[in-house]
Amino acid sequence: MRAVLRRLVPRSLLLRNLLGVVAGLVVVVLVLETTSPFRNSQFATMSYYAIAAAGLTVLTGLNGQISLGHGALMAVGAYTTALLLQGGSVPFPLAMLAAAVVTALVGVVVGAAAARLHGPYLAGATLALAVGVPGLAIYFDGLLGGEQGLSVRSPRPPGWFADAHYFLTAGELGGAKYLAYIGWITLLVVVLLLANLMAGRYGRVWRAVRDDEVAAELAGMRLGRLRILAFVVSAACAGLAGAVLAMVVRLAAPSGFTIVLSLSLLTAVVVGGLGSIPGALLGSALLVFLPPAVTNLGTGAGLTGVQAAQLAPFVYGVVLVVVMLLAPGGVMGLLRRLWRRGINQGGST
């Protein structure tokens, strides 16, 4: 069984990751073209959750730094995008790139401050970031719109994209579908870059720092620089996620970046599996699709709308507790164990 798998899988890591991204793009096209506009909007929402969760996987899963402030970093990316798109003269890809760069610079400052902190102290520092940053929009209300926030112009598909879409699918390209394409193409690019980064030298040294800081320092690794780099990479992903969020929601407002967002991202990473990009995708899918499904089941069982809405976070909490008890490595860790067991049994027979 193992010999067959080795022959089928390319030896080049970059080629394997590229093939995975191409396969993912095919799946995205098939799903978006066969679902309703409401589902398209849900998939667009899932895309920015997954982008931020993938970046948090690098920081928490690989480097071992717990962050409760990624919602604030998403706010930086969202407000940067909103400011740049206000005049209408900046193309949205350039605005998204600027959002990633600005948030990465914020990540340098925050990462440098947090490099000396560990465990609950680091979590507390990033928690203060999550609480304080949304308040800046209220303080600088003339520039950032105060509590009402800034409205964001939704980008329109360029002619070449609309023509290519019609040529491939023979269908119309709605606004929700186009935003979902933007989010998922961005997500696939992020996944490709992070997958290569995690499998390379920096991924190995980040794991070494996470597993044994003393041994890593004795081996000559500069722990402070490595922690800052991990924070910068994670912050850039959060900035991109914030940019996609601003375009999908069409608004950048303090109410969208509360501490609940940061906790939700960390929960998605833990449920999916620390250090696993597919786990981040799975955890993001649970964040988006589980609450509406539970609400619909509750209303179908005779509960009122309020009761059914209150049931959704309870069920999500139960799922989190069950995963932590039965699968400490997350859902992806459980699936990997089952996969290895199946391969070993197949090889023994």
The closest alpha carbon to 187, from 57, 15, 91, belongs to 57
Contacts of 332 by beta carbon, 8 Å cutoff, 6+ apart: 272, 273, 276, 278, 279, 282
Of the pLDDT bands very low, low, confident and very high (cuts 50, 70, 90), residue 81 is very high
Give pairs for 198-205: CB < 8 Å, separation 24+: 198/58, 198/62, 198/275, 198/277, 199/13, 202/226, 202/229, 203/62
Whole-number Å distance between alpha carbons of 237 and 281: 14
Of the pLDDT bands very low, low, confident and very high (cuts 50, 70, 90), residue 309 is confident
Q: What mean pLDDT value characterizes the chain?
A: 85
Given this model, what pLDDT does residue 205 score?
86
Q: What is the pLDDT of residues 254-281, one digit of tens each?
A: 988 988 888 889 888 888 888 888 889 9
| pLDDT higher than threshold 70 for residue 2 | no
Whole-number Å distance between alpha carbons of 98 and 141: 22
* Phi, psi of 157, rounded to the nearest 5 degrees: -65, 135
Q: Which of 67-71, 218-222, 239-243, 284-288 has the lowest mean pLDDT?
A: 218-222
Distance of CA 213 to the CA centre of its chain: 27
Mean pLDDT within 219-237: 87
Given this model, what pLDDT does residue 329 score?
76
Distance of CA 271 to the CA centre of its chain: 13
Given this model, what pLDDT does residue 74 score?
94
Mean pLDDT within 44-72: 89
Residue 162 burial (C-beta neighbours within 10 Å; 0-12, 13-18, 19+): middle
Of the pLDDT bands very low, low, confident and very high (cuts 50, 70, 90), residue 213 is confident
Greater pLDDT, 58 or 325: 58
Of the pLDDT bands very low, low, confident and very high (cuts 50, 70, 90), residue 82 is very high
The closest alpha carbon to 110, from 95, 129, 93, 123, belongs to 129
| pLDDT higher than threshold 90 for residue 242 | yes
- The H or E element containing residue 339 is helix 330-348
| pLDDT higher than threshold 50 for residue 5 | no
| pLDDT higher than threshold 90 for residue 10 | no
Hey, what's the torsion of the CAs at 181, 34, 47, 334, to 10 degrees?
Answer: -140
Quick count: other Cβ atoms within 10 Å of Cβ 22?
A: 12
Given this model, what pLDDT does residue 103 score?
95
Q: What is the pLDDT of residues 278-306, one digit of tens each?
A: 889 998 998 899 888 888 888 887 777 77
Percentage of the chain exceeding pLDDT 90: 28
**Hey, what are 208's tokens?**
């070494």
| pLDDT higher than threshold 90 for residue 76 | yes
Mean pLDDT within 146-160: 87
| pLDDT higher than threshold 50 for residue 147 | yes
Q: Is the pTM of this model over 0.75?
A: yes
Whole-number Å distance between alpha carbons of 116 and 126: 13
What is the SS3 string spanning 138-180? HHCHHHHCHHHCEECCCCCCCHHHHHHHHHHHCCCCCHHHHHH
Query: What is the amino acid identity at position 250?
Result: R
Between the two ends of the chain, the Cα-to-Cα distance in Å is 10
Whole-number Å distance between alpha carbons of 159 and 183: 19
In the beta sheet, which residues pair with residue 151? 251
